[in-house]
Structure formats: structure tokens, C-alpha cells
Amino acid sequence: MRIVPGNIAARDELDGIACRREPACIIAKELDMRNKILAIAAIAGVIGAPIAAQAQGVVTTGVAPGGAVVVEDVDGIAVDQRPAFREYIIRERVPSYTIPDRVIVGGVLPETGVTYYDVPQTYGVTPYRYTVVNGQTVLVEPRTRRIVQVVE
């Protein structure tokens, strides 16, 4: 390190160069800080890009208590299979659970008191389970209990 005459307490060091509180030194420090902030922002953008790309695609929107909910298009019961699936539910005498909220796509069912059933492969292979809530048959994502399809 090179010694520069003057007030030692007033000197700062910028990249190994002794620097007094002069405008050129202050500007250099500001540029250095700006570059660090830009680097951090670029890293955050690179990390966030895959998340944003994954969120894109075909979506179905619904309204749930508390605001809008966007749910990805699901591999639920196909339109042509729905009448047969409803008949199956009636035949099986699946009990209907009552909840105070409206039954809508994006709504979350209670943690307790609702039983979920596997969808028979006859009606399509799906990762979801079904139940009947407020008289409506719904497909539910079992891990989150979020309604992904109301089978009408």
C-alpha cells in the first residue's frame, strides 16, 4: 500500500488506491456500488427465470374467497366421461360433505372431515382424488386439498 500525505482518518481505500473524499473518489465508489447492485439484480433474474417460465402455459382461472386464483389446466375427467362418472358416484353412494364456502376451482377443502377416493382408471388416469362436497363431485389435489375440477 502506498502512503499518501494528509489526514489518515480522511482517507479511504478503493481497489488498493488511497483516496481522499474528493468528488472523483466519491463517484468511483458510487459506480462500484451500482455495479454490485446490478450484479445482484442479474443473479436474481437468472434464478427467477426458470420459475417464471414454469408458471407460463394454459391456465384456467377461478374466483375463491380472498381473490383470484389461477390453476393450471388439469388432466381431470374428460367431458365425454363425466355422465358415466356421475352415475358411478351415485352407484357408490359416496357421502356428500357440507362446507360453508362455495365449491369452486381453486378453493381449498378442510383439513379434517372429508374423505377422498381414488378415481377408477375407467374414467382416465389422473393424479387427483375425488369427493362430493355440497352435492357436487370435485377432483382434488390430495397433497394441498385444492379443488382442481368441479365435475358437472
Which residue type does 42 have?
A
Do 101 and 94 touch, CB atoms closer than 8 A? no
Of 59-63, 77-81, 123-127, 145-149, the one with minimum mean pLDDT is 59-63
Q: Note the pLDDT of residue 27.
A: 77
Residue 72's pLDDT band, with cuts at 50, 70 and 90, is: very low
Residue 44's pLDDT band, with cuts at 50, 70 and 90, is: confident
User: How far, in Å, CA of 28 to CA of 14, rounded?
Assistant: 8
Residues in the chain: 152
pLDDT digits (tens, 9 = 90+) for 99-129: 888 899 999 998 888 889 998 888 888 899 9
Q: Note the pLDDT of residue 31.
A: 80
Do 70 and 61 touch, CB atoms closer than 8 A? yes
Do 63 and 107 touch, CB atoms closer than 8 A? no
Of 7-11, 27-31, 32-36, the one with minimum mean pLDDT is 7-11
